[in-house]
Amino acid sequence: MIQQIALVTGASSGIGRATAELLARNGYYVFAIARRLHRLEEIRSDQIEPIQLDVTDGEAIRMAVDHVISTKGKIDILVNNAGFGQLGTIECVPMEAAHRQFEVNVFGYARFMQAVLPHMRARKSGCIVNMTSAMGKMTTPGFGWYSASKHAIEALTDAVRGEVMNQGIDVVLIAPGLIRTEFVPRQLELLDTIAHPTVYHEILNGLRHLLSNEPQSPGPAIIAQAVLRAVTSSNPPVRRALPLDSKMAVAARWLFGARLFAWAVRQRMKLKF
């Protein structure tokens, strides 16, 4: 059987790493992509080849894709997953930090799609999986910039799906709920770097409270399994939300409507207004 070739971004930890390892165990040759090379080297094998790059660097992405094509001749799967969460209020997150959020979470995905699509189109075959979030369809106070980046990804993904569906290419959204990775600790570290006046402290405490369930949440393996199921399916889902908290949050948003949902969120965050 001809070996399938996959690119997985954000493969140095969490969901990306679990996905890279699972795809490799299932026979894929995986290019594992991130900035921290020493973390990628931990998973190097005869099925996993690390590529060190920052997804904000378009030239590095072009060179990486050229390398994949010159050594393997094709790209079957792209898992766009590298990302981070810029928490903080809309007023206080500096514009540079907001731009960085979009450069990584949105334009990073777009750069990879633009780089791989010509190769997938040439072979009339391929599958792109874009990692979104429950926050791709809803938001809460303090999650604005991150949610906006994931809403943007959902729109771009729905658009590109329609653009390439007649060219043998599938495009899938996976929307995780809270998953135990390095994501939440890094989000909270980043939040601590944003100066907020005291009037916002109740919201910041509410955010910390929302995220305090993270140690009890599932590990990244369930999301990796969802990616594997999507890329091996002859009829992949358009959007797969999991685990249950991600499904429920989006359902509640549409069922309750904006005002009631916002009230329910304030209750969950223990806000007194």
Residues labelled as active-site residues: 146
The CA distance from 116 to 62, in Å, is 9
Quick check: 84 binds ligand NDP (CB under 6 A)?
A: yes
Quick check: 144 binds ligand NDP (CB under 6 A)?
A: no
Helices (H) and strands (E) in the chain, counts: 11, 7
The site that binds ligand NDP (CB under 6 A) totals a number of residues, namely 29
Burial of 218 (0-12, 13-18, 19+ CB in 10 A): middle
Hey, what amino acid is at 249? A
The residue (of 13 and 139) whose beta carbon lies closer to ligand NDP is 13
The CA distance from 156 to 59, in Å, is 22
Hunting for tokens 């209750």 — which residue is that? 267
The residue (of 79 and 164) whose beta carbon lies closer to ligand NDP is 79
Quick check: 179 binds ligand NDP (CB under 6 A)?
A: yes
Nearest to 109 by CA among 143, 74, 156, 170: 156
Q: Judged by CB under 6 A, which stretch of 69-77, 114-122, 180-188, 229-237 contacts ligand NDP?
A: 180-188
Among 5, 6, 7, 12, binds ligand NDP (CB under 6 A): 12
The residue (of 102 and 125) whose beta carbon lies closer to ligand NDP is 102
| Per-residue contact flags (x/-) with ligand NDP for residues 98 to 137, judged by CB under 6 A | ------x--------------------------x-x----
Among 183, 191, 207, 227, binds ligand NDP (CB under 6 A): 183
Residues 239-268 that bind ligand NDP (CB under 6 A): none
The CA distance from 77 to 45, in Å, is 19
- Helix or strand run (H / E) with residue 33: strand 29-34
Q: Which two tokens stand for residue 258?
A: 């904006």
Contact status, residue 214 vs residue 180, Cβ threshold 8 Å:
yes
The CA distance from 83 to 103, in Å, is 10
Residue positions counted in the chain:
273
Q: Judged by CB under 6 A, which stretch of 9-17, 87-95, 196-204, 263-271 contacts ligand NDP?
A: 9-17
Q: To the nearest whole angstrom, how small is the minimum distance from the Cβ of residue 68 to ligand NDP?
A: 16
| Per-residue contact flags (x/-) with ligand NDP for residues 20 to 49, judged by CB under 6 A | --------------xxx--x----------
The CA distance from 270 to 138, in Å, is 18
Among 24, 55, 204, 210, binds ligand NDP (CB under 6 A): 55
Give contact residues for ligand NDP (rule: CB under 6 A). 10-16, 34-36, 39, 54-56, 81-84, 104, 131, 133, 176, 178-179, 181-183, 186, 220
